[in-house]
Structure 1
């Protein structure tokens, strides 16, 4: 999924932590000023001021060099698109090293942290390398910056999904009602959910859900446990910004093996379609299921 991180890597400097060079250099003061100017402009959402921090032919490049923006005009337009979004992040940059490698040329490596707005924000992080060039007027400007891969902590890896899932949801189909709630656990490392299924002809069933990040497989994983004694586990694979595929396997309370191919497709911020196909219980194939799940409207406050 594309995030604001790629385009926020336009400067490999930081105001918060200060620049740390391999050797003391009189150029560090100029690099620090460039950092202050960049952080201030970005967090003020000033696209024109950001573009002016680049050389005339400066560029922003992603990890695979498949997404490249070149030149001040296009860089300004790219930032304008980012800042137009309601979830535009605030950034801070943590520098690992800055090296003056030649006359009027410096290289910096570090990590940029982007924190979205909201009451419960979780930062996502990206490693970067940037090349800065000093112009004839003595000002350091960005010649090139490149992403070097995601560096988010566990919470950051879940941040995108958390933004979509957090809150209270409900769905009804053929006499079955689902009420679902998602939020962060106390550690901030897992999304926790609880689902209540009710029907006129069946006992209510409560399922607890835990969603986490598997650092070995580099994937989002979930575990579900129902109060009847059944459980399941599955890996989430992103299809695009709004869709996920989930392959789930588990066991019922009676010891029967279960499996399903599920998908979640968000339709805006207030609804998603959940589909479960190839459902097997004890080797018996069950019909596919599709439900539209909608966000519950908060109850009005009582004065």
Structure 2
């Protein structure tokens, strides 16, 4: 299946996963997933439709867990016997558990390090036994550009259990302008600051004059060290249909990243050339807590192929631009350079 279609359809079913299930103390190797409300948290007086929505989300969570275990048997148990996958762009179609089992086996054999992330735009329960889920998924395979797709999935309730019945996958609609493509990041525009025991981090995000790019300036100040400054340009790549970024730092290092959305998180897969010529890579997780709070953390960071310890998340708070400018030695968005 083209563009790892089966993997993409799996991602389509897996956006809300319990974040607490990810190991907290050890260095993570993939971005965390957002979580549906567990059944125990649902109100006893909630209407049936609300209960069914939670149940569908629970089915999705079970799906991603099975996929990440490469457990084809568990995956197939979450499909109806006549489950069907359709790629609307290519016309490819797989129907029935036997055909899906073959596809899963091919995907897991060809891409053992495949990772999935996804977001849900809407869950609609119809008539008590059918649910429609719409959203966007990202499929990541090492050394391959992430594949982003839109999906529409239909669940059916059989014997009290929600099962996947149909998935339609298609390319994302192409934004008419770069600004439209970057609109989901507009909440970052403004000034942000963090003051920890070891450093002061300040950052300002603004639109370029033509609003075709977002431009971020950031500073990291540590006692008895030269200030670390950088600038990041974020833009839309119409050929790859992805948000990309290019970063330039005061020590001469530079890098680039590919952005994808996963619920309340933005995942930035980065590569960088350090000032001394070494090569670095990692995944940056930017999580919007509320309108004025964001956390930034880099996970799975490697330098010349050697895994580095994972630093704690940096928490940034929105501030007045005059405050950020006063804290910065340079001319005054959450500082993605802060969690390097």
Give me the TM-score of the superposition, normalised by structure 2: 0.43
Comparing both structures, which one devotes a greater share of its residues to helix? 2
The structure with the largest strand share of the pair is: 1
- TM-score, normalization by structure 1: 0.48
**Structure number with bigger Rg:** 1
Higher RCO structure, 1 or 2 (CA under 8 Å, sep 6+): 2
